[in-house]
A and B are shown apart, each in its own frame.
Chain A
């Protein structure tokens, strides 16, 4: 193999290697995560602005958060569900996460979120093609010291 061919081959291979993670996943939706109102965010994420309120869905979050840069939030559902969403009404980008469940995954997801100010949190679950939601209010107190 000539040196020129070898270099060309190397360039082709390395471009594939650098591109593969993006191709493997590449599901991130620019539209769902744009800065907009909560209603618009609902529409962008799943196409309807008023999901049905349901008792089946629970959000566990502190009613008063001392540190707005890391508020622990837990979403779980007694419906089986195949998609979970979490929205913060007053954040610039309301959608926090979208989680698609496969196989043995249980409808439970927990993470720490940033909050711009006191706001309502909305969790949405998709079950049998229908969307159900629950909400909870979290007060953010100004950080002392």
Chain B
């Protein structure tokens, strides 16, 4: 498993589709391991997406998101727009990446 946040954004007819994968165990805090012990909660809680410095999305995520969250969103944009994403988990782990729209 790669440990870096991956992001790809592609423009088509004035609409950009962006895909983000965050490598993260994303434990809900309710799952039990083989010994029956509860695995403590460890998941991505917040995210924000900026395009050319302006906020595009504010995301709040709950524990029901799958392991290695894979998010997709769309916005009106053009090739060359600069996309910045940042995510924060419940242990204050911070994940950031940026990409240029293709």
Contact = CB atoms under 8 A, between A and B. Distances in A.
* Same complex origin of A and B: yes
Given A102-B57, A103-B51, A103-B55, A97 B45 contact: no
A104 B63 contact: no
B59 A22 contact: no
Interface in B39-94: 45-48, 51, 54-67, 69-77, 86, 88, 92, 94
Interface size class of B (residues with CB under 8 A): 35 or more
Interface of B is mostly: strand
B30 interface: yes
Nearest to A35: B30
A28 interface: yes
Contacts of A112: 65-66, 69-70
A123 B6 CA distance: 27
Contacts of A98: 59-60
Interface of B: 15, 28, 30, 45-48, 51, 54-67, 69-77, 86, 88, 92, 94
Q: Which 7 A-B pairs have the closest CB atoms?
A: A104-B76, A112-B66, A110-B72, A100-B58, A70-B66, A106-B74, A98-B60
